[in-house]
């Protein structure tokens, strides 16, 4: 996946005087370093579903894994639009990130092997996965792996200066060109 530079804008309505937009490269470094994300999906009946999970940043996208029978996997089968968030649970310190996009299942074995290595490098040997049959396998369980390339992302700087940065990518609803 080619690396794309987004359109970056600071929302003055929610930013302190003198605040600057956060560069996308800084947001990417924060996404890569974050250990815990919250994924929001929509149930087939329209109700929201939110749950925490680990994720890795690779090739311009956040990647996460979920068992094929888990609620989030079933939700994504009906509606692949999702939001992943990460940050600090304080109002006046830290930085929060929100990534909106379409979850696309990764089944290519070479890509999965690279992602399995990335998971173990980031989270340790507990997260060791075997790759086969288009997914991750861990003990008796299996997981589908999804990629979410940002279509729109938001960054919230907390504490002086407060800031809200929006990054927009030229991707349509299914991750293609708009």
**Tens of pLDDT along the chain (178 residues)?**
456 799 999 999 999 999 999 999 999 999 999 999 999 999 999 999 999 999 999 999 999 999 999 999 999 999 999 999 999 999 999 999 999 999 999 999 999 999 999 999 999 999 999 999 999 999 889 999 999 999 999 999 999 999 999 999 986 554 443 3
Query: Cα-flanking dihedrals φ and ψ of residue 47, to 5°?
Result: -75, 145
Q: What is the pLDDT of residue 170?
A: 87
Give strand ranges (E) for the chain.
Answer: 7-10, 37-42, 48-53, 56-58, 61-66, 81-86, 95-106, 130-132, 135-138, 141-148, 152-157, 163-168
Domain segments of the chain: what residues? Answer: 7-168
What architecture is the 7-168 domain classified under in CATH?
A: Roll (2.30)
pTM of the model: 0.92
- The CA-based angle 82-169-77, given to 5 degrees, is 25
């Amino acid at each position: 996946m080619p690396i794309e530079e987004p359109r970056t804008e600071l929302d003055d309505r929610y930013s302190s005087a003198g605040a600057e937009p956060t560069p996308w490269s800084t947001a990417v470094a924060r996404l890569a370093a974050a250990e815990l994300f919250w994924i929001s999906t929509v149930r087939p009946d329209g109700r929201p579903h939110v749950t925490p999970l680990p994720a890795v940043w690779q090739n311009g996208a956040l990647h996460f894994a979920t068992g094929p029978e888990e609620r989030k996997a079933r939700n994504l089968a009906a509606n692949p639009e999702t939001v992943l968030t990460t940050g600090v649970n304080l109002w006046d310190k830290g930085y929060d990130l929100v990534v909106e996009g379409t979850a696309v299942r990764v089944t290519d074995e070479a890509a999965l092997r690279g992602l399995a290595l990335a998971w173990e490098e980031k989270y340790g040997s507990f997260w060791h996965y075997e790759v086969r049959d288009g997914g991750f396998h861990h003990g008796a369980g299996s997981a589908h792996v999804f990629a979410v390339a940002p279509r729109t992302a938001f960054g919230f700087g907390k504490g002086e200066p407060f800031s809200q940065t929006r990054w927009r990518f030229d991707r349509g609803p299914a991750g293609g060109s708009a």
